[in-house]
Structure formats: C-alpha cells, structure tokens
Amino acid sequence: MNTIYALLTIDVSAIEPITSEAPPGSNAVIRLVRWLLWGVMLSGVAGITYAGGKFAWERWTGGVLESPKMVVAALIGGIVATSASTILNTVVLTT
C-alpha cells in the first residue's frame, strides 16, 4: 500500500509558478480599451443625467412616466460596463 501511495504523490515544490506576460504590441490595444471605457462611463453618466431631467420634467408637467425605464436601462448599462472593466483588469492587465 505504501508503494502505491509513493507512486501517486507529486512533489509540488518542483513546479514553477506560471507568470503571465503581455504579448508584444498590446500596449496600444490596452490604451484603446481604456479610452473606450472612459467613453462608456461618460455616456452612462450622461444617460442617467438626461433620464433624471426627463423624469423631473414628466413629473412637473404631469405627462406619462417613461423615464424610469431609461434610468433603469442606464443603471444596467453602467453595471455591465463596470463588470467588464473589473474582468478586464483582473484577467488581462494583471502581470
């Protein structure tokens, strides 16, 4: 039994840790993605601001309330954009 156990054990101290390395020329792609992220965040803030203003206008004039859907859509878009940023930072940009 000890012989079988000795054959099945693995010396993990001999395994070298794996380090990630960015491919050549990836700095331009990463810069572009960061710029796009700023654009997405800016459009999300603009969307929430616009929807909030429209919501106030609809409440003041007594019109049909359609803007709460816009606020929810802008918030969901912001959540998706923030999640994509976190995933990108975690998976791609960690070295």
pLDDT in tens, 38-70: 888 888 888 888 888 888 888 888 877 788 888
- Global pTM exceeds 0.85: no
pLDDT of the residue at 9 = 63
pLDDT of the residue at 6 = 57
pLDDT of the residue at 68 = 83
Percentage of residues of the chain with pLDDT beyond 70: 80
pLDDT of the residue at 23 = 79
**Phi, psi (rounded to 5 degrees) for 53:** -65, -40
Cα–Cα distance, 74 to 8 (Å, whole number): 55
Q: How many CA atoms lie within 13 A of 20 on its CB side?
A: 7
Neighbours of 84 (CB within 10 A): 14
Cα–Cα distance, 70 to 51 (Å, whole number): 6
